[in-house]
Amino acid sequence: MPTATGQAFPSERASAFATQFASIYLNMKSEELDTRSRQLAPYLQSDEDPQFGWDGYGRMFAANLQPFGVEVVDSNNGVVTLAFQSGARRFLLSVPVYYSGGRFVVSGRPALLPAPAPADLPQVAQPEGDEAAEAELRPQLQGFFKAYADGSSDLSRYLVAGKSLPSFGGAFTFVELKSVVVPVGGATREIQAVVVWGVPTGATPSATPGATDPSAVGGRLEQAYRLTVEKQGDKWYVEDIRGAGRAVG
């Protein structure tokens, strides 16, 4: 709602203010009461309870704070909702904010709310597969992903003429082309592929004989991609690569 001077409630700046406030408010350790109260002070009225409703007992930690939404009440008042994680659970925090003269203040007690559960993902029928094209594409894609990972000059061999793509430059290693979905179509098709990358490690080996440090062992990470491929002669070439979006088999 605009003010008399035509200014609306500044939702984006209010979200930034509330996020900073919440990063302090939601992290509670009884041994750090004085630190918490000093850090909260810039967000509150001067006569407010310095712990802002917390009795000083117990412990809570919050991470991954992100703006979730803003309810604009009027040109001076809004309620900012933030998403955050504490332990293994997601929550929401609703923070009332007052704005005037370019300044903000938390105008009331916040409210903790449960975060929505994950959405139910409907099953999607896979397109009719082209097994012959998949058999032709597999060796080409294996070579492409290996070069895409290590950044070798071989990458250009797998691309449509005149096309160039950036590579990982050795940040990951190619382990396996786990699956490919190739729909029936013409010379140009959009396919999906699941690739296993080798996760690098910079850790030094354990000094204890027989001991295995998980951080020193290279891991495996599955990733899903969409690729636009084009057949020229008897070979397929990659025109583009991007994230897959939906799970593939």
Tens of pLDDT, residue by residue over 97-154, are 999 999 999 999 999 999 999 998 888 777 788 899 999 999 999 999 999 999 888 8
Cα distance between residue 109 and residue 213, in whole Å? 46
Instruction: Evaluate whether residue 21 is within a structural domain.
Output: yes
On whether the CB atoms of residues 22 and 93 are closer than 8 A, the answer is: yes
| 3 state SS of 186 | coil
Tally the residues of the chain. 249
Residues 165 and 91 in one domain: no
Burial annotation 224-243 (CB, 10 A radius, 16+ → b, else e)? bbbbbbbbeeeebbbbebee
Residues 110 and 52 in one domain: yes
Residues 141 and 95 in one domain: no
Residues 110 and 25 in one domain: yes
On whether the CB atoms of residues 117 and 93 are closer than 8 A, the answer is: no
Cα distance between residue 122 and residue 152, in whole Å? 40
Residues 38 and 107 in one domain: yes
**229-233-236 Cα angle (round to 5):** 25
On whether the CB atoms of residues 171 and 200 are closer than 8 A, the answer is: yes
Residues 36 and 97 in one domain: yes
Tokens 């504490």, residue?
A: 86
CB neighbourhood size of 70 (10 A) = 19
Phi, psi (degrees; rounded to nearest 5) at 97? -130, 135
| Both structure tokens of 218 | 């290279």
Instruction: Evaluate whether residue 18 is within a structural domain.
Output: yes
On whether the CB atoms of residues 114 and 92 are closer than 8 A, the answer is: yes
| 3 state SS of 206 | coil
At what angle are helices 33-40 and 11-25 packed, to 10 degrees?
Answer: 170
Of 80, 114, 148, the one marking the end of a domain is 114
Of 114, 140, 162, the one marking the end of a domain is 114
| Both structure tokens of 156 | 């250009």
Instruction: Evaluate whether residue 121 is within a structural domain.
Output: no
- 10's CB contacts (< 8 A; 6+ apart) are 99
Phi, psi (degrees; rounded to nearest 5) at 19? -65, -45
Of 114, 141, 159, the one marking the end of a domain is 114
The residue range of the domain holding 139 is 131-203+214-243
Instruction: Evaluate whether residue 123 is within a structural domain.
Output: no
Cα distance between residue 87 and residue 63, in whole Å? 9
Whichever domain contains 169, its CATH number is 3.10.450.540
Cα distance between residue 53 and residue 93, in whole Å? 15
Instruction: Evaluate whether residue 249 is within a structural domain.
Output: no
Number of domains in the chain: 2
pLDDT tens for the chain, 249 residues long, are 333 344 799 999 999 999 999 999 999 999 999 999 999 999 999 999 999 999 999 999 999 999 999 999 999 999 999 999 999 999 999 999 999 999 999 999 999 999 999 998 888 777 788 899 999 999 999 999 999 999 888 899 999 998 999 999 988 999 999 999 999 999 999 999 999 999 877 544 344 444 344 444 478 999 999 999 999 988 999 999 999 876 544
Phi, psi (degrees; rounded to nearest 5) at 130? -110, 95
Residues 179 and 236 in one domain: yes
